[in-house]
Amino acid sequence: MSGHSKWATIKRKKAKVDAQRGKIFTKLIREILTAAREGGGDVENNARLRTAVQSARESNMPYENIERAIKRGTGELDGVHYETATFEGYAPGGIAILVTTLTDNRNRTSSEIRHLFTRHGGHMTEPNPVSYMFEKKGVIVIEGAQVGEDVVFEIALDNGADDVRAEGGIYEIVCPPEAFETLRGKLQEGKIAYQMAEISLYPKTAVKLDRDAAIKVLKLVSALEDLDDVQHVAGNFDISDEILKAIEGELGWSRSPCGVSTCP
């Protein structure tokens, strides 16, 4: 599971900036719409939709927006048809990158992603050279100060987790996708807040990066995630806490868009 905790930390920092930019809602609406179209609008009987709606609520999306996205997905309201498309490539230094998208125009999305890979010193590949390096996992990140280690380990291991890591003041629970909802529910029952909870693709092994390589790779990852069509970006890299703290200002993750730590 090497690299997962750092990757979760990176995604958490980036998510704060994305939320301020309003990008989180765009991605969540597409996920809700697609989940409803593929599995129906009943949240209780559609696990993918249930997860998407829960994530939207945790991001403070208004209920009206959620309801409208579900109705567009089921056809009760007119809506855009999105399809899932995955793109693979390599960042500078041979780091494998896997990009998952929801798009209404695959050719446009492919062109935009290819441009970003090239612009940031990487390159796109044909399908399959990269995907085998990743596996689908649920991951839940918890602030360590609020709960004891024994409590986290007990909940995790009693409810199907593969691994629990304590690092940098956080706990990271990694689990099979089928155990994700149960684990999240048990944490909610115990009133244990989590900073991030998602099902995504994670690297089976990770490559440690030095400062210069980390900046190049994270600039590519950030640019890819800024595309509206992109839902998730996975990479098989590991960056130390020291390097991450040193470069987050250069990446624009340590400040809000208005230029201070908290916008008015």
CATH topology of domain 134-203: Alpha-Beta Plaits (3.30.70)
CA 237 – CA 113 distance, rounded (Å): 19
CA 121 – CA 109 distance, rounded (Å): 19
CA dist 228 → 43, 158, 239 (Å): 25, 38, 26
C-alpha closest to that of 197 among 183, 211, 208, 213 = 183
Kindly report, as residue ranges, where domains of CATH 3.30.70.980 are found in the chain: 82-133+205-246, 134-203
Using left for φ > 0, alpha for ψ between -120 and 50, and beta otherwise, residue 16 falls in alpha
Q: Considering Cα of 152, then 156, then 158, then 163, what sign does the dihedral take?
A: negative
pLDDT in tens, the chain (264 residues): 334 455 556 666 666 666 655 678 889 999 999 999 999 999 999 999 999 999 899 888 999 999 999 999 999 999 889 999 999 999 999 999 999 999 999 999 999 999 999 999 999 998 888 999 999 999 898 888 888 889 999 999 999 999 998 877 788 899 999 999 999 999 999 999 888 888 888 888 889 999 999 999 999 998 998 899 999 999 999 888 788 888 877 877 654 333 322 232
Let me know if domain 82-133+205-246 sits in CATH 3.30.70.980: yes
Please tell me the pTM assigned to this model.
0.83
Helix (H) or strand (E) holding 24: helix 23-39
